[in-house]
């Protein structure tokens, strides 16, 4: 079972994709894939039900972000050795933490919209971790028990806003549409090892990024334990765990997104995203 939210932006309904690929509606059972519904035990209870208990959805509606009411979108920078090297940064001794505004979140096939006067918008495919159970001062050994599931995200980044406009990175990371999530939320119980997943991204069919989550500097369990020492992680919070090498900013010459580009990306077992780039 792969959990989704479907429908028009801002009015998505909860659902899931069954083993036959049929979209089924969960709105008669839960209000949203958010809050207490994301507790691993609550997701397991839904998964134990026969798929036929839930009505099939006709057509092919838009898929939105697979998690609702996201409180925090926490990002980790420079978390792959080769990525740190390609952008000329030292390997961090502790996780590099910053926040992306939740207003940047969009669906897995929505347009990526270049902000006004943007010239240096870049791509960063990442494994996203969705918290399902409150986490505060947790140990690494217990950290993964707080995970609802995993999905694909892109930390879209306007590099000049990020690096040349002073202050912190947030304004280069938070433009509308700069946080696509999905297509699905795959429950943690269905992901055997989050540190052994292939991850890739293409622009106009040209593969730019390819790697494996095994090459993270700080793994998922490390990140949850670390972050929970600074602030409480609540159900629905998202952690974007860093990107492998191949970002446009690290190339020679540098490459950036332009209107008309097609961006596709995916992670083993977690599905694929597809976006067309437009201008604001």
Question: What is the CATH code of the structural domain delimited by 73-279?
Answer: 3.90.850.10
Q: Which residue has the tokens 């707080």?
A: 146
For the stretch 227-261, pLDDT in tens is 999 999 999 999 999 999 999 999 999 999 999 99
Q: What pLDDT is recorded for position 219? A: 98
Q: Residues of the chain with pLDDT > 70: what percent?
A: 100
CA distances from 26 to 9, 98, 169, 174 (A): 17, 33, 37, 30
Query: 74-83, 175-184, 213-222: which range is least confident on average?
Result: 74-83
Q: What is the pLDDT of residue 83?
A: 76
What residue ranges do the domains of the chain occupy? 2-53, 73-279
Whether residue 87 has pLDDT greater than 80: no
Instruction: Please write the tens of the pLDDT for every residue from 186-219.
Output: 999 999 999 999 999 999 999 999 999 999 999 9
What pLDDT shows up at residue 91? Answer: 84
pLDDT at 167 over 90: no
């Amino acid at each position: 079972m792969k959990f989704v939210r479907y429908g028009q932006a801002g009015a998505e309904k909860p659902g899931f994709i069954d083993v036959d690929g049929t979209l089924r509606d969960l709105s008669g059972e839960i209000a949203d894939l958010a809050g207490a519904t994301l507790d691993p035990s609550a997701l397991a209870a839904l998964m134990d039900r026969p798929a036929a208990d839930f009505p099939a959805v006709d057509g092919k509606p838009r898929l939105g972000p697979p998690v609702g009411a996201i409180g925090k979108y926490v990002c980790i920078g420079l978390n792959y050795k080769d990525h740190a090297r390609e952008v000329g940064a030292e390997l961090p001794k502790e996780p590099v933490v910053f926040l992306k505004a939740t207003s940047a979140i969009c669906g897995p096939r929505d347009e990526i919209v270049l902000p006004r006067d943007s010239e240096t918008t870049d791509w960063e495919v990442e494994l996203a971790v969705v918290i399902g159970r409150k986490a505060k001062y947790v140990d690494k050994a217990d950290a993964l028990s707080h995970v609802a599931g995993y999905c694909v995200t892109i930390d879209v980044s306007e590099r000049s806003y990020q690096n040349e406009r002073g202050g912190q990175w947030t304004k280069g990371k938070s433009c509308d549409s700069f946080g696509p999530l999905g297509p699905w939320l795959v429950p943690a119980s269905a992901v055997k090892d989050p540190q052994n997943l292939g991850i890739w991204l293409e622009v106009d069919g040209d593969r730019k990024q390819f790697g494996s989550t095994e090459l993270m500097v700080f793994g998922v369990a490390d990140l949850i334990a670390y972050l929970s020492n600074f602030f409480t992680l609540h159900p629905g919070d998202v952690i974007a765990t860093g990107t492998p090498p191949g970002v446009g900013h690290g190339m020679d010459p540098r490459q950036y997104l332009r209107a008309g580009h097609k961006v596709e990306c995916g992670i083993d077992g977690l599905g694929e995203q597809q976006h067309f780039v437009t201008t604001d």
